[in-house]
A and B are shown apart, each in its own frame.
Chain A
Amino acid sequence: MSAGTGPDNLPWWATGVLLPVINVVLALIVSAIVILAIGEDPLGAMWTMVQGALGTSEGLGYTLYYATSLIFTALAVAVAFHGGLFNIGGEGQAYLGGLGVGLVCLAVGDMPWYLVLPLSVLGGAAFGALWGAIPGYLQAYRGSHVVITTIMFNFIASSLMVYLMVNVLIRPGQMSPESAQFDKATFLPLVQDMAAAIGIQMNPSPLNFSLFLALAACVLVWAFIWHTRWGFALRTVGANENAARYAGIDPKKVIIIAMALSGALAGLLGVNEIHGVQHRLLLNFPAGMGFTGIAVALMGRNHPAGIVPAAILFGMLYQGGTELIFDYPSISRELVVVIQGVVILFAGALEHMFRPALVRLFTPKPAGV
């Protein structure tokens, strides 16, 4: 599933650009049908969404804020995918990662944010990595399938977090299960304040420094997968475990590392949500972003260069969806979830339907037939 020229000799832009565009257009057509079934105007609704997502600096800020979280969870899916693993546990890993981030931020007191950030990144990555590495270990050494285990771990993470928030981390004298607020000094700077410092006026949005962290993660993941020895081992195991073994690669170790790395990336969602925006620990902050990461990764062909635009597109859908309800009250924001599901169907499950059709289109017909 990697980008580039496949065995069927499709040019890179056909797999990397044309195929995803076809997937999105089909997904949009399906959602247009849903909107028509509700009795609303699909083109008007989509225009409202685009305007809501990109038309104002506030909308743009929200779009990129959602995209930041999605880049992390999609990179998580992509790293595992290159190792031949399907990590559905991004949601739980992000949840635990947020716990790690929160514990760091609660512990550091009034340390300035630029000193806290490396620690909170470490905390989020470590907790996420642990929650990914256990299913990885169980697959590598105990033979349980990572798909099932990560699903189970999502539920276990959710129960664990409820227990911790209700019984341990809750701020005393408070009814709702939320921790104390972090010290103001630790807050990550908002992009609107950074822009104001160089004279650009932006309306308030939760977009924060994490965006740059997400972009840096893209570069690091790209370098890791395609330009390191470990990345090569990862892709070899993903392509053919037996061949990897004969080449002297230990697939068990690779599987655990891949799942740990995948979990660490998902855990960084916590930096954006907890360290960047909420400034306290609370329940359910991953809000399905771990699952949306699957759609983003599939659409971005598991390549950082594809994941960034795909994450921005889904960020637009999220932000546009919230704007939609003001003009079209009968369309709820769950329309984004439908689009997400349909994208996974077209870009993932029905991959083998579209690709051969493209191959036929690009293969010159033999002469004389």
Chain B
Amino acid sequence: MMDSYFWLLSLLDSMLRLATPLLLAALAGFFSERAGVVDIGLEGKMLMAAFAAAATAAATGSAGLGLLAAIGASLLLALLHGFACITHRGNQVVSGVALNITAMGLTAVLGNAWFEMGGRTPNLPATARFGELTLPLAETLRGIPVLGSFYSEVVSGHNILVYLALALVPLTAWVAYRTRFGLRLRAVGENPAAVDTAGISVPALRYQAVLIAGLLCGLAGAYLSTAQGAGFQTNMTAGKGYLALAALILGKWKPVPTLLACLLFAAADALQTRLQGVVMPGLGEVPVQLIEALPYLLTVLLLAGFMGKAIPPKASGRPYVKER
């Protein structure tokens, strides 16, 4: 009994760790897509940020500077996305694909040239990473059965970015639904002409949204290479940007359901490594590939209306043309 409880605790613990980059990227997608700018480029921004963070942290020994570099790199890509999609009214999906592919190539080429380790960056010492924080009383409460061990094993012992990501969920909900900026942001994703009529600049709002997405992808990338990992590896995002996009869709473009979707995907990921080769009674060996594909299958089913309906923001994907 206690054994399986601790198994569950360790599962929940890794679920939180795995959910963080998804959550940060999905919230990035939330801001961009609610403003009407489709963001396929979450993956590329994260990857670029992860590389910038690891390279900077390796050079300076500071995780903080790495984080700043990550945000800077991601913001640059976000600006490029805005320039193509908002200023020049280009195809948002094509622009996102371009960013992803460029980021994949650029990080590999620069990493290989600068560090000569086949695209990896040097292993970061603990001082150049975001360390685990022990929350107050975690050690004192450890002895208390059930709740105490839950607190010390699952709640405590993560790095600052994990807590930041979780705190960003209510913050995002508050910004989006309780502030003037949020109202305008959502309006520009549903009916930009109405926002324009009210005398508010559609391009300016969309640029703000895209830049917020850049900032959050920067955090997600830095988390991958300087908090969860200890350095950059070629293509280390490995589809997490697309997974975040799937979580956003599964969460029907709302912050709290998106958090739940991220947790679900992360739990599937954590389970997958634990179920490798395990034979379930009555079911036989669980095919890990099925668990791996589950998030994508769920998203397809949801989008196809077989389980509820996910309706994207009305104006998403459409460049705004002011009438003359």
Give me the interface of A with B, judged by CB distance under 8 Å: 34, 37-39, 86, 88, 138, 142-145, 147-149, 151-153, 155-156, 159-160, 162-163, 166-167, 291, 294-295, 298, 330-332, 334-342, 344-345, 348-353
Known: A144-B303, A153-B300, A159-B292. A338 touches B105 (CB 8 A): yes
Select one of B102, B108, B114, B249 contacting A345, CB under 8 A: B102
Q: List chain A residues, Cβ under 8 A from B84.
A: 345, 349-350, 353
Complex-state Cα separation, A34 to B112, whole angstroms: 12
B113 at the A/B interface (Cβ < 8 Å)?
Answer: yes
Chain B interface, number of residues (Cβ within 8 angstroms): 50
Not counting A152-B300, A334-B105, A338-B105, a sample of 17 additional A-B residue pairs whose C-beta atoms are within 8 angstroms of each other reads A142-B306, A144-B300, A147-B38, A148-B245, A151-B40, A152-B242, A155-B293, A160-B289, A332-B112, A334-B119, A338-B102, A340-B101, A345-B98, A348-B91, A349-B90, A349-B94, A350-B88
Provide the bound-state CA to CA distance between A145 and B300, in Å: 10
Which residue of chain B lies nearest to A353 when distances are taken between CB atoms in the complex?
Answer: B88
**Which residues of A lie under 8 Å from residue B292 when comparing CB positions?**
159
Q: Is the CB of A352 within 8 A of B89?
A: yes
User: Does B110 count as interface, using CB distance less than 8 angstroms?
Assistant: yes
Q: Is residue B103 contacting chain A, with contact meaning CB distance below 8 A?
A: yes
Q: How far is the CA of A142 from the CA of B303 in the complex (A)?
A: 8
Query: What chain A residues lie within 8 Å of B293 (beta carbons)?
Result: 155-156, 159-160
Alpha-carbon distance A291/B101, docked complex (angstroms): 8
Partner of B101, one of A152, A160, A341: A341
Complex partner residue of A147 from B85, B89, B93, B101, CB under 8 angstroms: B93
- Collect the chain A residues with CB atoms within 8 Å of residue B97's CB: 88, 291, 294, 344, 348
User: Measured between alpha carbons, how far is A340 from B297 in the docked complex, in Å?
Assistant: 29
Is the CB–CB distance between A86 and B112 below 8 Å? Answer: no
- State the majority secondary structure of interface residues on B: helix
B296 CB-CB contact with A under 8 Å = yes
CB distance from A250 to the nearest CB of B (A): 20
Distance between B98 CB and nearest chain A CB, rounded to angstroms: 4
Q: Are A38 and B104 in contact (CB under 8 A)?
A: no
Residues from chain B with Cβ under 8 Å of A344 in the complex:
94, 97-98, 101
A233 CB to nearest B CB, Å: 23
Give Cα distance in the complex from A336 to B106, angstroms: 10
Report the bound CA distance from A352 to B85 in whole Å.
Answer: 10
B125 within 8 A of A: no
Nearest B-chain residue to A346, judged by Cβ:
B98
Decide: B296 and A156 in contact? CB cutoff 8 A.
yes
Asked if B112 contacts A159 (CB within 8 A), the reply is no
A73 to chain B, nearest CB (A): 14
Q: Is B109 an interface residue when CB atoms closer than 8 A count as contact?
A: yes
Complex Cα–Cα for A151 and B41 (A)? 12
Q: Which of B90, B93, B305, B306 contacts A88 (CB 8 A)?
A: B93
Decide if B290 is an interface residue (CB 8 Å cutoff).
Answer: yes
| Contact between A145 and B108, CB atoms less than 8 A apart | no
Nearest neighbor of B285 in chain A, beta-carbon distance: A167
**Contact residues, B204-220 vs A (CB, 8 A):** none
Note all chain B residues with C-beta closer than 8 A to A338: 102, 105-106, 109
| Contact residues in A for B303 (Cβ distance below 8 Å) | 138, 142, 144-145, 148-149
Interchain Cβ contacts under 8 Å between A and B, 15 examples: A38-B113, A138-B304, A142-B303, A148-B249, A153-B300, A159-B289, A163-B289, A291-B97, A294-B97, A295-B101, A334-B112, A338-B106, A344-B101, A349-B90, A352-B88
Question: B95, B116, B300: which contacts A348 (Cβ < 8 A)?
Answer: B95
Q: How far is the CB of A129 from chain B (nearest CB, A)?
A: 18
CA distance A163 to B100 in the complex (A): 27
What is the bound-complex CA distance between A342 and B99, given in angstroms?
8
Tell me the B residues contacting A by CB distance below 8 Å: 38, 40, 80, 84-85, 88-91, 93-95, 97-106, 108-110, 112-114, 116, 119, 234, 239, 242, 245-246, 249, 287, 289-290, 292-293, 296-297, 299-300, 303-306, 312
Closest chain B residue to A38 by CB distance?
B113
Complex partner residue of A143 from B104, B105, B296, B305, CB under 8 angstroms: B305
- Chain B residue with Cβ nearest A352: B88
Of all chain A residues, the one with the shortest Cβ separation from B96 is: A349
Residues of B within 8 A of A160 (CB): 289, 293
Q: How far is the CA of A349 from the CA of B229 in the complex (A)?
A: 33
A350 to B102, CA, bound (A): 15
| Chain B residue at minimum C-beta to C-beta distance from A294 | B97
Contacts of B101 in A (CB 8 A): 291, 295, 337, 340-341, 344
The listed residue (A149, A162, A337, A352) touching B289 by CB distance below 8 A is A162
For residue A6, give the distance in angstroms from its CB to the closest CB of chain B. 16
Whether the Cβ atoms of B105 and A337 lie closer than 8 Å is yes
Q: In chain A, what residue has the closest Cβ to B84?
A: A349
**Which B residues are CB-close (under 8 A) to A330?**
112-113, 116
Check B305 against A349 for contact (C-beta < 8 Å): no
Q: Are A155 and B242 in contact (CB under 8 A)?
A: yes
Nearest-neighbour CB distance to chain B for A65, whole angstroms, equals 21
Contact at B105–A336, with CB atoms within 8 Å? yes
Q: Closest approach, in angstroms, between the C-beta of B120 and any C-beta of chain A? A: 12
- Cα distance, A353 to B91, chains bound together (Å): 12
Shortest Cβ distance from residue A136 to the other chain B in the assembled complex, whole angstroms = 12
Tell me if B300 and A155 are in contact (CB < 8 A): no
Taking a contact as CB atoms under 8 Å apart, the answer to whether B88 and A155 are in contact is: no
Residues on the A chain within 8 Å of B305, using CB:
142-144
A298 to B89, CA, bound (A): 17
Residues in chain B near residue A353, CB distance under 8 A: 84, 88, 90
Chain B residues near A37 (CB-CB < 8 A): 110
Q: How far is the CB of B280 from chain A (nearest CB, A)?
A: 16
Closest 7 A-B residue pairs measured CB to CB? A337-B105, A341-B102, A144-B303, A349-B95, A338-B105, A341-B101, A334-B108
A157 to chain B, nearest CB (A): 9
| CB <8 Å contact, B113 and A332 | yes
Chain B residue contacts of A166, Cβ below 8 A: 289
**In the complex, what distance in Å separates the CA atom of A88 from the CA atom of B97?**
9
Question: Which A residue sits closest to B113, measured CB to CB?
Answer: A38
A151: B residues at CB distance < 8 A: 40, 242, 245
Residues of B within 8 A of A88 (CB): 40, 93, 97
Task: Give the Cβ gap from A74 to chain B, nearest Cβ, in Å.
Answer: 14
How distant is A242 from chain B, measured CB to nearest CB, in Å? 15
When the two chains form their complex, are residues B94 and A298 in contact, meaning their CB atoms are under 8 A apart? yes
Chain B nearest CB, measured from A356 CB (Å):
9
Given A86-B91, A348-B94: A340 and B289 within 8 A (CB)? no
